[in-house]
Amino acid sequence: MHINVKHSLIDPETIKQMMADYDMEGDCHCDFLARGLNDTYYITDDKDHQYIFRVYRSGWRDKQAISFELDSLLHLYEQDFRISYPIKKRDGLFLNEIEAPEGLRYGVLFSYSAGVRPLINVDNSEEIGAALGRMHELTSGFFPIHERGFQLDTTHLLDEPAAVISPVIERYIGHEAVEVFQTVVENTKADLWELDLEKGFCHGDFHNHNMHIHDGKLEVFDFDCCAIGYRGYDIAVSWWNLKNNYRNMEEECWDAFLKGYLAERDLSGAEMKSLPLFITARRIWLMGTMIANDDVWGTNWINEQTLKLFIGQLRTDRLGDENLREMDDYTRING
């Protein structure tokens, strides 16, 4: 019987052998660090230099898309923005091609961001906001030469995940819930289209889980979701993080984040108005990503309770939506 492999785990010893293509001090040691959409390894050499080696999952990002990410990181690194940056091999190339059982995968070596995940408090939130504002300012007018394959727009954030989510909602909580969900998607898109919003380079997943703080300085990593897209979405991801994970500190830390961001870069009224809409988009994008990649998140969390909570969050996001109110009135009248 032929066995299909969806996402293999490469042995650290194999990754260690690949380090022979880099200028490292003496022998190196490799530990498997984390599994997610991509696989991450922690590398050290005899001089205690630290690195991160990422192996991209097959079919997730192609060569052009990864090259877009690397172009962007090098641009920011050259602008003295503190990031985990890619490191060349001796042959001058960044990418390693890995013939995995499931297909071609790519590996890249990155510098290691020293320190720890920043705690969420007022001071750190201001620094995080300032870092994002600075990154947006440094990439204004910057467009990498390689194609990313997607933008952080309504197609990627709303339409594509909605196509994955709708059948699952139908299965677990019925067609009426699908209609509510689709109404939220369409009305969120319509509201965004009415606004004059700036597009530019975005990190795509900018919150405290993707940065370290060391000696009071932030360093950002994991640009796997970066793309050209709505800057408002990039900002809203941090607000979403506060709402979901630090609810008791949301208001004061969000104010501090905005203070830091606005010290580096202005926001238009339209962009400010878009932020709650992009929180909804973030919820939908993440749900679609998790459902579509069940080899990472599994399926035991997909159930009636989880999906009702999801629909409830979307309804709360869109309090005052006349279409949703009309649907509720119709349901009450007709049972």
Q: Confidence class of residue 1 from pLDDT cuts 50, 70 and 90? A: confident
DSSP 37-95: SSEEEEEEETT--EEEEEEPPTTTS-HHHHHHHHHHHHHHHHTT--B--EE--TTS---
Query: Has residue 83 got a pLDDT over 70?
Result: yes
Lowest mean pLDDT among 79-88, 210-219, 228-237, 321-330: 321-330
pLDDT at 332: 61
On the question of pLDDT at 2 being above 90, the answer is: no
**Tens-place pLDDT, residues 174-232:** 999 999 999 999 999 999 999 999 999 999 999 999 999 999 999 999 999 999 999 99
Look at residue 326 and tell me whether its pLDDT is greater than 90. no
pTM of the model: 0.95
Average pLDDT of 18-38? 93
Report the alpha-carbon distance of residue 310 to residue 304 in Å, rounded.
10
Percentage of the chain exceeding pLDDT 90: 91
- CA dist 170 and 156 (Å) reads 21
Structure tokens at 321: 């939506």
Contact 280, 188 (CB under 8 A): yes
Confidence of residue 333 (pLDDT cuts 50, 70, 90): low
Tens-digit pLDDT profile for residues 271-298: 999 999 999 999 999 999 999 999 999 9
Structure tokens at 25: 């001090």
CA dist., res. 129 & res. 95, Å (int) = 32
Is residue 69 very low, low, confident or very high in pLDDT (cuts 50, 70, 90)?
very high
Per-residue confidence band for 329, with pLDDT thresholds at 50, 70 and 90: low
Is the pLDDT confidence value at 26 over 90?
Answer: no
Residue 322 has pLDDT above 90, yes or no: no
Q: What is the pLDDT of residue 323?
A: 84
From residue 219, alpha-carbon distances to 18, 197, 211, 288 in Å are 26, 27, 5, 29
- Assess whether pLDDT exceeds 60 at residue 28: yes
pLDDT in tens, 98-126: 999 999 999 999 999 999 999 999 999 99
Burial 117-142 (b: 16+ CB within 10 A, else e): ebebeeebbbbbbbbbbbbbebbeee
Q: How far apart are CA 278 and CA 274, in angstroms?
A: 6
Angle between the N-to-C axes of helices 175-193 and 160-173, in degrees from 0 to 180, rounded to the nearest 10: 160
pLDDT tens string 135-175:
999 999 898 999 999 999 999 999 999 999 999 999 999 99
Where do the domains of the chain lie, and which CATH numbers do they carry? 12-111 (3.30.200.20), 122-334 (3.90.1200.10)
CB 132 within 8 A of CB 206: yes
pLDDT given at position 97: 96
Mean pLDDT over the full length of the chain: 95
